[in-house]
Structure 1
Amino acid sequence: MSKVRSTSDESLIRIGELARRAGVPAATLRAWERRYAIVEPVRGPSGYRLYSPDDERRLRSMLALIDHGLAPAEAAARVLSAVGADAVLREQASAVPAPGLRAELFDALLRFDNAAAEQIMDRALAVLSADAFVREIALPVLRRIGDGWSEDTVTVGQEHFASNVLRGRMLGLARGWGGGSGRLALLACPPGEHHDLGLVGFGVALRGLGWRVTFLGADSPIDTIVACAEEIEPDVVVLSSISEELLARSAGEFDGFADRYPLMLAGPGASGELAARYGAAVLTEDPVAAAASLAP
């Protein structure tokens, strides 16, 4: 059983909030704490057990491994093995900087080596927050692979494999992103747009800032987006595409939409000219920076 220390750190959260963020029942978290010591709560002034960002990071890494088929005990052991003591984490962070991790992950993905890729991502998440992992590791590797495909140095099979591995890990980080009581974002891609990993990264970053996320994802019909917005009444709707043509094609179908819901265009296909046609604003292309721009 983990030790419970005393603290007055106001940045810590109670188990109910951790459970909402992670998307698992509080009873399950308590059981994992007892069995695997995956989290190390401290005791607040009022006597409640409180959990740190490091606890949440370890828990999310464990959940991502479970999503990939590992048993909870094995997933916890792998995370704790990758994490180690705080001093080891700092040493790993300086010894294996983001460029090195990106290069290792890129090479593993091109070799179709799923086990190596997962291990590298475990190491990255042991020292990086979820949004830092998205910004510094996942999306740069994805862009490099996309560039390689455009230049015929990466095959279609390699591109599909890499996208699926990165998607699995990023969606693991997104677990529970609809829970909590924060502001609500509706995220979607227009019809015909099948590239939504940047939007996933944006959602992960938003969740880290306390937002709730409803994710429709790739190739979302316009009437589905509109109906969902009417149902959930989001605080913001983000439409993302790498294609200016696809965004332009859908503009007329959103007539009057921005009068009812704050609408943002995102992705490489977004532009000020298109945003004016939608009555929308434009978000920066960097998903993490875009999320930060929406912070309260």
Structure 2
Amino acid sequence: METSVRGGLRIGALSKRAGVSEHVLRAWETRYGLLAPTRSSGGFRLYSEVDVHRVQRMRAYLADGLSAAEAARAVLAEPAMTPSAPAVGALRAEPGGVAGLRAALDELDERAAHVVLDQLFGALTIEAVIRDVLIPYLHDLGDRWARGEVTVGQEHFASNVIRSRLAALSPGWGGGHGPRALLACPPGELHDIALLSFGLVLRRSGWRVVFLGADSPMNDVERTTEALAPDLVMLAASDATRFDSIRPELVRLARKRSLALAGPGASTELATAVGAQYVETDPVTAAERLAER
């Protein structure tokens, strides 16, 4: 698995950081000289923060309508950036990504939504699409629903389209020989897209994932934990009352396995009280950090 090493980033780590596939990165390097890697003692290409910055700027120029060749020339013509300087133009999804997806889903146009998703998954990594497009869109959707700007039907339609697309990326994710994670939402919790996203990224890092999903009875969670002895049990909820109603079960789980609590319903106080870990970052970053450890 490509990763970061002392002195630089391997191409896989650069791909995750910048949200561009390894294939595209290699093309930009060979065709346009966009990247300037050094070599490790073992002969591997190592990329710097300057390269991360150049990829981010390349994406910004492409989003403004420049061709790949024009965008590369524009990036290379910019003032040199030192590795310690902050990157200009933080990583963002294609400007049309969130807006295009929002327009299609608001109109209940499933075909148009999948066209946008096809374009995004074709240009960006799964991690970048989830973190920079889908999660922001879902947060915005929830806020608009709370303000009465979208109907329950629109919210359900959009969530189902996104969930079905992510679920299609997950066949066979329980196979392999890596660490095993058991993922579930407690009883009454119906929102499992963030947990599904966490599982997808974790699986791409070599973990085996057992996904119980929404509204999982705690008896089933505990029995599955006993049977499989996972390295991690993660429960996610959007409402704190979901966790409050199962505190005794959480304490039992935490005594037996490594337990993590995530979602808006979790908190540092709750995790400390039951002996669990509190996961406060977005699901993609949380999975990447866990995989690195």
TM score, norm. by length of structure 1: 0.68
* Correspondences of 1:107-186 after superposition (within 5 Å): 107-186=103-182
The aligned residue for residue 63 of structure 2 is 95
What fraction of aligned residue pairs are identical, expressed as a percent? 45
1:204 equivalent among 200, 204, 208: 200
Matched residue of 1:290: which SS? helix
Deviation at 1:256, TM superposition (A): 2.7
Deviations 1:49-79 (A, max 9, x none): xxx9659xxxxxxxxxxxxxxxxxxxxxxxx
Q: Is the counterpart of residue 249 in structure 1 residue 245 in structure 2?
A: yes
Counterpart check, 1:193 vs 2:189: yes
C-alpha displacement of 1:91: 7.5
Aligned position for 2:255: 259
- SS of 2:246's equivalent in the other structure is helix
Q: 1:290 and 2:258 equivalent?
A: no
Equivalent-residue separation in structure 2 for 1:217 and 1:93 (angstroms): 39
Q: Is the 8 A contact 2:180 2:231 kept in 1?
A: yes
In 1, Cα distance between the equivalents of 2:172 and 2:112? Answer: 27
Q: After superposition, give the CA deviation of every residue in 1:179-210 in whole Å (9 maximum; x if it has no partner).
A: 11111110001111111111011111111221
- 1:227 to 1:165, Cα distance in 2 relative to 1, 3 A: same
Post-superposition Cα deviations, 1:214-268, rounded to whole Å, max 9, x if no partner, equal 0001110111000011111100000100111111111112333212100000001
Cross-structure match for 1:217:
213
Tell me the matched-pair count: 214
Give the Cα separation in 1 of the matches to 2:195 and 2:281: 10
Q: Counterpart of 2:215 in structure 1: which amino acid?
A: D
SS at match of 2:225: helix
Q: Relative contact order (alpha carbons < 8 A, sep ≥ 6): 1 or 2 greater?
A: 1
2:271 corresponds to which of 270, 275, 286: 275
User: What is the rounded CA distance, in whole Å, between the counterparts of 1:91 and 1:256 in structure 2?
Assistant: 48
Answer yes or no: is the 8 Å Cα contact 1:192–1:219 preserved in 2. yes
Distance across 1 between alignment mates of 2:60 and 2:175: 32
CA contact (8 A) 1:245 1:269 kept: yes
What are structure 1's unaligned runs of at least 5 residues?
Answer: 1-9, 12-51, 56-89
Separation in structure 2 between the aligned mates of residue 280 and residue 265 of structure 1, nearest angstrom: 7
Q: Distance in 2 between matches of 1:207 and 1:110?
A: 31
State the 1:140 CA deviation: 1.4
Q: Secondary structure at the match of 1:269?
A: coil
Structure-1 separation of matches of 2:203 and 2:61? 24
Give the TM-score, by structure 2 length. 0.68
Determine if contact 1:240/1:266 at 8 Å carries over to the other structure: yes
Give yes or no for contact 1:184–1:213 (8 Å, CA) kept in 2: yes
The aligned residue for residue 45 of structure 2 is none
Shift of the alpha carbon at 1:293? 2.1
Contact kept, 8 Å, 2:63 with 2:95, in 1: the verdict is no
